[in-house]
Amino acid sequence: MNDVIIIGGGLAGLFNAILLNRAGYKVLLIERKTYPFHRVCGEYISNETIPFLKKLAIDLEGLNVSRINRLEITAVSGAKFSQKLDLGGFGLSRYTFDEFLYKKALAEGVGFMLGTKVEEVGFQDNQFKIKANGIELETPLVIGSFGKRANLDQKLNRRFFYKRSPFLAVKFHIKADLPSDLIQLNNYKDGYCGVSKVDGNRWCMCYLAHRDDLRKYGTLAALEQNVIRKNPYLNRIFEEAEFLLDKPEVINEISFEKKQPVEQHILMSGDTAGMIAPLCGNGMTMAIHSAKILAEKIMEFYRPHQFLPDKRSMLEQAYTSAWNQKFAARLWTGRQMQKLFGRNAATDLTLKTLNHLPKLADFLISKTHGQPF
């Protein structure tokens, strides 16, 4: 029997797998796709992760990351706000990073079931029973790291799933004549688009849009032409960039509603536990940090091969408390900041305010980032 089964092989799942496997736990990770593959993601990671990554012997230079230390926010009017990022970050595609972590975990002894969809998760008599591709598995602990929104959320009756979200997210990779040290957040009606360099000679372009606008114009191309390209900075990128993917990655109903870090005894990690507004640019960082926190709490209450049922509630309470202490304020701040953008007049006013009060910008950025860990 596995000590832990992890559902979902994104950043949170892979880091949980590596950390727990190194601590002596027998770990199985189930992922419905096979590596490498693209994910909808802004592909920017804050430098607050660097001490942790060094401890795990992850060589960022070997991954050819881009170093990012400047922020630029733009509006449809052409207004612009620029700011140096004191902490900074780096760009790295999920296609590259997820496969790297998968190979690392596999080489270290983590078990994988790839191309496998989890159909059901049940809990009875202090054991989880999982059905995946017709196979039945048992384990005392399950980590949920299946992303922003999944069918399992519905099967678990998670509240946020039933609050319809009006947003869709779309990601491209492009080649462009853009600064390599800059992350750009370009605003337009009902959304915004992040652009920054990742590994290799390519940039990630990931935008958020409203489904009513897509419904109005019918296709992504028409939506881009009539809404997104009204921002002059984005229009230039669309005109001049070389688009590298055969088709964009798309997710519907991106939700920023509050989630619970533990649901029906499943320990949620990464976006499955809570998602920060993308304009804050820190979702990958939070996924990595949440995995570290969860793995540490599991080690505190559960020794490899010696799970004590009476400690389950203690583990769940300790993890919930640690997760909320570290991330709840960040998520709330992100939801409030999102309200400042997405409407052209509000965006203009916000950029004018930030230009006149740069210390306010520093404060807002600090509230959506943490300290090095």
Say yes or no to pLDDT of 195 above 90: yes
Q: Say if strands 27-31 and 111-114 run parallel, antiparallel, or are unpaired.
A: parallel
Task: Tell me if 205 is assigned to some domain.
Answer: yes
Spatial CA neighbour of 15 closest among 29, 33, 36: 29
Given a contact cutoff of 8 angstroms between Cβ atoms, the answer to whether 191 and 167 are in contact is: yes
**CA–CA distance, 289 with 292 (Å, rounded to integer):** 5
Which structural domain range is residue 230 located in? 4-367
How does pLDDT run across 337-347, given as a tens digit for each residue? 888 787 888 89
Backbone angles phi, psi at 357, to 5 degrees: -130, 70
Task: Tell me if 222 is assigned to some domain.
Answer: yes
How does pLDDT run across 311-342, given as a tens digit for each residue? 999 999 999 999 999 998 888 888 888 887 87
The band of 95, judged by pLDDT with boundaries at 50, 70 and 90, is very high
User: What pLDDT is attached to residue 211?
Assistant: 93
Say yes or no to pLDDT of 370 above 90: no
Query: Residue 297's domain is classified under what CATH number?
Result: 3.50.50.60
Task: Tell me if 373 is assigned to some domain.
Answer: no
Say yes or no to pLDDT of 183 above 90: yes
User: What pLDDT is attached to residue 10?
Assistant: 97
Task: Tell me if 372 is assigned to some domain.
Answer: no
The total domain count for the chain is 1
Residues 6 or more apart whose CB falls under 8 angstroms from that of 311 comprise: 301, 302
Helix, strand, coil distribution of the chain in percent, nearest 5: 40, 30, 30
How does pLDDT run across 18-49, given as a tens digit for each residue? 999 999 999 999 999 999 999 999 999 999 99
**CA–CA distance, 153 with 157 (Å, rounded to integer):** 6
Tell if the pTM clears 0.75, that is, is over it. yes
Mean pLDDT of the region 71-92: 95
Number of Cβ within a 10 Å radius of residue 177: 9
Residue that wins the pLDDT comparison between 255 and 99: 99
* DSSP category for residue 340: T
How does pLDDT run across 104-119, given as a tens digit for each residue? 999 999 999 999 999 9
Q: Where do the H-state alpha helices sit in the chain?
A: 11-22, 50-55, 94-108, 151-155, 211-217, 220-226, 232-240, 283-301, 312-323, 329-338, 344-356, 358-367
